[in-house]
């Protein structure tokens, strides 16, 4: 697993799986130690390859029940991310 670095603002980053640039967006599932990181540009321009890569990595490490739990966790994460984005836009 690659080492996590931190930016000046203290946010954790890792190299993007696609372009190698430092990425602030990551997906991690607990209990398996798996992490996938992609920069916002690659996720925006290549959403399907990122989704496929994530699905393959998850399928290699977890069973169906764990996938369903992960799905629920990702849905909660997505909702929280949208709320955080809205708050950030208000403050900007």
92: pLDDT confidence band, cut at 50, 70 and 90?
confident
Report whether 27 contacts 36 (CB < 8 A).
yes
3-state secondary structure labels for all residues of 7-43: CCCCCEEEECCCCCCEECEEEEECCCCEEEEECHHHH
Domain residues for the domain of 91 are: 63-92
Question: Beta-carbon neighbour count of residue 22 at 10 Å?
Answer: 15
Q: What is the pLDDT of residue 82?
A: 84
Same domain, 71 and 57: no
Same domain, 41 and 80: no
Q: What is the pLDDT of residue 18?
A: 72
| Helix or strand (DSSP H, E) at 76 | helix 64-91
- Taking only the tens place, the pLDDT of each residue in 7-43 is 455 556 777 777 788 776 555 444 445 566 667 777 7
Query: Structure pTM?
Result: 0.38
- Taking only the tens place, the pLDDT of each residue in 39-83 is 777 777 765 666 676 677 667 666 777 777 777 777 887 888 888
Same domain, 36 and 57: yes
Same domain, 87 and 47: no
Same domain, 45 and 83: no
Q: Does 88 or 47 have the greater pLDDT score?
A: 88
* DSSP 8-state symbol, 5: E
Q: What is the pLDDT of residue 66?
A: 72
* DSSP 8-state symbol, 92: -
């Amino acid at each position: 697993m690659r080492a996590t670095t931190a930016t000046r603002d203290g946010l954790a980053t890792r190299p993007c799986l696609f372009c190698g640039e430092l990425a602030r967006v990551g997906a991690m599932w607990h209990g398996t130690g798996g992490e996938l990181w992609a920069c916002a540009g690659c996720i925006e321009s290549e959403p399907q390859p990122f989704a496929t890569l994530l699905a393959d990595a998850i399928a290699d490490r977890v069973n169906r029940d764990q996938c369903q739990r992960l799905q629920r966790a990702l849905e909660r994460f997505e909702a929280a991310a949208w709320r955080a984005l809205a708050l950030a836009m208000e403050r900007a």
